[in-house]
Structure 1
């Protein structure tokens, strides 16, 4: 059954009340027509509950806008949603990615995440290419998807809004990796479900890394907004040793500042009995929040990105396959994921809107029951990068 506007309806009841389901919700394919976004295909989702979001088909099927009852949740940067043809993946010593960085979800990977690096490429067995240079957060985020389907389907009296596509990141004498992405939401619901499968479609042994850069903006992000997470240990920070240099701890968000310098934290999260790690940002004044759920056996590392600079105001919740120190660090510790031909990895995420103080309190109690995060705003990082075993429970 579907709950909408305080009533419960079956499929026949909704059909009797609407000339077309699009009156209350659904998925619509549109194409942007102006500026840097011109030509980008976008899927607009409306669940009828007040949740709306858009999927950028031509940018790895990432999620651009997210809003609930007119209140923005997803972050927009000054770059806009640039058409992939304008992307500069090799530019600015590997930092060209920041000229196309915007939206609620920016997928990072598929063979590299985190800062620019040059690493060994001998697994591809091509004499002219001994190394490969990676820019910030990899290449996948600016690759158009092949849209394999979208729409609304009924499973009994439950209506599911859905979209599926395939993103191919490939090079001759290099990686041939496919991202198979499925996005779903229920009519009447406040959740977005994302399922990814990354497949090595080539015949060379290929490295794989993945990170989900989930970016939250104003008004959900505001002075006093709270970061809630089952933090078992604070592992690393970008601004040690003086953690209080900007008077901004990991737990409570501050107002925008023209001189703020980004801060990154890596936390070791504790999962619940089902292996789920829920991380939330909540705004008590608005009675609004978002929970990002990931599986610890799929994404064992967790980063928090604080970008509280004026005009760039954002907070990132970032589940990842690898530690914050990047590609070579993973290789040196024998923690890189290597995919042989046909092998795959699966990732499952859920983004849930919290509407009202009661839902915020329930989420906070749930997270605290898993692990009580450090009370200190400036917990000293332990430097304990736990060994990663990518063989457990995460293969596709």
Structure 2
């Protein structure tokens, strides 16, 4: 049964999806987005689990028209950008922040970005998110592939959601689901639909992302995806460490080869450092589940990123420990593919194909580690997945940059 409800001056479609859930359509075709909010208090919930969700349309500069959806679980605040691929802009629980300080300060509307500018590096003109989707037609460095210019990391992060639906469970712990629909379509090219979902709940200090890629075309198509998950201080600093159950590690290029012996360690901000990148093949458990952990120098706080190697078989570790003003950041990036241009990844078996009408699912779980005990437990989980299996160090890059 569909109803209309006027809240904060914004008319939303309200559907009773069950006897115990509320559903709100926040973004839809031909539906103006206005500032709006809902909370546990306004819903009349009095069980002590407070939460709130708000929608904000930005104005001014290159963020004119950008739409943010802010979720406060009562223990964590996180922001999703509906106009930028349903990317997660930032998350924070108390003093522990997930995200980073990019030189790009605005939440740039895709209308103001030309992905082909800067020799295919236009993607960087809006890059400032905690989680930025890369794909789905391709990922990797810009360059030519079969006569086509591929821009950095594809289009997913610059696809505005055509529909966004919020669902809140009435019963504790009040599951909060934010679903978005993205379309990556071009005549005679990709015909992809991406259904995204972010799930959290009242009192949570973590969230789960679930994406479903559907090939709506009549022919089998190539696809690639990479989840660019980015962290700065306080988790990143001199002495911070990365841990994961890794089967094989190799340098992305000759520069990274020089520091292969310290691939898991981080430096203080170093002007002129630039970046080093490493290609990882993670181990998974019997169900394919794997885990990556980043923690500060004292191992008192961190983040755990869980994924499945049957969906996302490879992992890129990006270390951009340059000066703070340049963007002091590391990227933990599970994917179907590494960051080489697509033309270089077919030989590596990292350009999968999806049949006409087929679907592929990708699930990632982000969990804040607020105490030394939580960090220690996550590191023990990493060792449990490793199960004594060795890590092969490969000195040569898997591919050579053209």
- Give the shorter-chain TM-score range: 0.7 to 0.9
The residue number in structure 2 matching 1:226 is 241
1:229-283 Cα deviation digits (max 9, x unpaired): 11222133324575239xx822221110111120000112111233111001112
Structure 1: state its 5+ residue gaps: 1-10, 121-130, 386-396
* 2:57 alignment partner in structure 1: 31
- Residues 305 and 241 from structure 1, CA distance in 2 versus in 1: closer, same or farther, beyond 3 angstroms? closer
Aligned to 1:188: 203
Alignment of 1:188-337 (within 5 A): 188-240=203-255, 243-244=258-259, 249-283=262-296, 285=298, 287-310=300-323, 311=325, 312-332=327-347, 335-337=350-352
Q: Pick closer, same or farther for the CA change 1:335–1:217 going to 2, 3 Å.
A: closer
In structure 1, distance between residues paired with 2:297 and 2:259: 24
Partner of 2:190: 175
**Which segments of structure 1 move beyond 6 Å, counting only runs of 4 or more?**
14-18, 372-376
- 187 and 112 in structure 1: CA distance in 2 versus 1, 3 angstrom threshold: same
CA deviation after TM superposition for structure 1 residue 324, in Å:
4.1
Q: 1:374 to 1:237 in 2, by over 3 A?
A: farther
- Give the alignment's TM-score, normalised by structure 1: 0.83
> What's the counterpart of residue 158 of structure 2?
142
SS in 1 for 2:264: coil
Counterpart contact for 1:231–1:373, Cα < 8 Å: no
Which residue, out of 98, 105, 108, partners 1:73? Answer: 98
Aligned to 2:29: none
Using a 3 Å threshold, how does the CA distance of structure 1 residues 331 and 267 change in structure 2: closer, same or farther?
closer
Matched position secondary structure for 2:174: strand
1:333-386: CA deviation from partner (whole Å, max 9, x where unpaired): 55522223211111011001111011111111111222279999xx8525596x
Match of 2:169? 153
Aligned 8 A contact 2:230 2:332 in 1 = yes
Q: TM-score, normalised by structure 2?
A: 0.82
The whole-number CA distance in structure 1 between the counterparts of 2:41 and 2:343 is 60
Indicate how the Cα distance of structure 1 residues 383 and 371 shifts in structure 2: closer, same or farther if over 3 A, else same: farther
TM-fit CA distance, 1:118? 2.0
Secondary structure of the structure 2 residue equivalent to 1:158: coil
Query: Hey, what's the Cα distance between the residues in 2 that align with 1:62 and 1:350?
Result: 14
Confirm or deny: 8 A CA contact 2:96 2:370 kept in the other structure. no
* C-alpha distance in 2 between matches for 1:261 and 1:200: 37
Corresponding residue for residue 28 of structure 2: none
Q: Note closer, same or farther for the CA distance 1:33–1:375 as it changes in structure 2 (3 Å cut).
A: farther
Mapped pair 1:55 → 2:71 = no
Q: 1:375 to 1:315 in 2, by over 3 A?
A: farther
Say whether the 8 Å CA contact 1:230–1:368 is kept in structure 2: yes
**Bigger CA drift: 363-372 or 166-175?**
363-372
- Residue 368 (str. 1) matches residue 393 (str. 2): no
* 2: CA distance, partners of 1:232 / 1:384: 16
The two structures, once aligned, show a CA RMSD in angstroms of 2.9
